[in-house]
């Protein structure tokens, strides 16, 4: 099981935005530079985070991105779902006359993992780092 690089960048971007000391928008160039990724690529990720309601964009000379939801409510799972979607990681492709027993085990494991990620709030990590403005 592996998450995409986009999820990696999204988690790091959200950590940076949550840890930022002010509500002043942070530009895509600064966010991209912090992670060593192209601003064009990061913009696509930011668009997904905006659509999910996690962040908002501000246009203009001092524009950029800032956290939209309450920081204390944003979980790892929220960010992962914004990028990866909510489809199950495992899909039994065999035709069974009854419920697939393997599918049941895999879904249970996925539910436990999702519960753990739901309980992990990004703000808890943000409290442990410092951000250079």
pLDDT tens-digit map of 49-81 = 999 999 999 888 788 999 999 999 999 999 999
Please report which confidence band the pLDDT of residue 130 belongs to, taking 50, 70 and 90 as the band edges.
low
pLDDT at position 131 is 54
Please report which confidence band the pLDDT of residue 133 belongs to, taking 50, 70 and 90 as the band edges.
very low
Mean pLDDT of all residues belonging to the chain? 91
Contact 55, 65 (CB under 8 A): yes
Q: What is the mean pLDDT of residues 3-13?
A: 96
Q: Where are the domains of the chain?
A: 5-85+122-126
**Beta strand 64-67 with 55-58: parallel, antiparallel or unpaired?**
antiparallel
Name the fold adopted by 5-85+122-126. Answer: Arc Repressor Mutant, subunit A (1.10.10)
Indicate whether 111 pLDDT > 90. yes
Distance CA 111, CA 23 (A): 34
pLDDT at position 92 is 85
pLDDT at position 52 is 97
Q: What is the pTM of this model?
A: 0.88
Q: Residue 46: which of 61, 62, 31 has the closest Cα?
A: 31
């Amino acid at each position: 099981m592996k998450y995409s690089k986009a999820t990696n960048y999204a988690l790091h971007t959200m950590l940076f935005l949550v840890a930022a000391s002010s509500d002043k928008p942070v530009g895509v160039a600064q966010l991209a530079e912090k992670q060593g990724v192209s601003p064009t690529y990061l913009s696509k990720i930011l668009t997904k985070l905006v659509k999910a309601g996690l962040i908002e964009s501000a246009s203009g000379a001092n524009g950029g991105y800032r956290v939209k939801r309450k920081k204390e409510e944003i979980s790892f799972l929220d960010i992962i779902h914004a990028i990866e979607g909510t489809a199950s990681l495992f899909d039994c492709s065999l035709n069974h006359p009854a419920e697939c027993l393997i599918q049941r085990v895999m879904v249970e494991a996925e539910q436990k993992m999702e519960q753990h990620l739901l309980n992990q709030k990004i703000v808890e990590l943000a409290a442990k780092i410092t951000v250079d403005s």
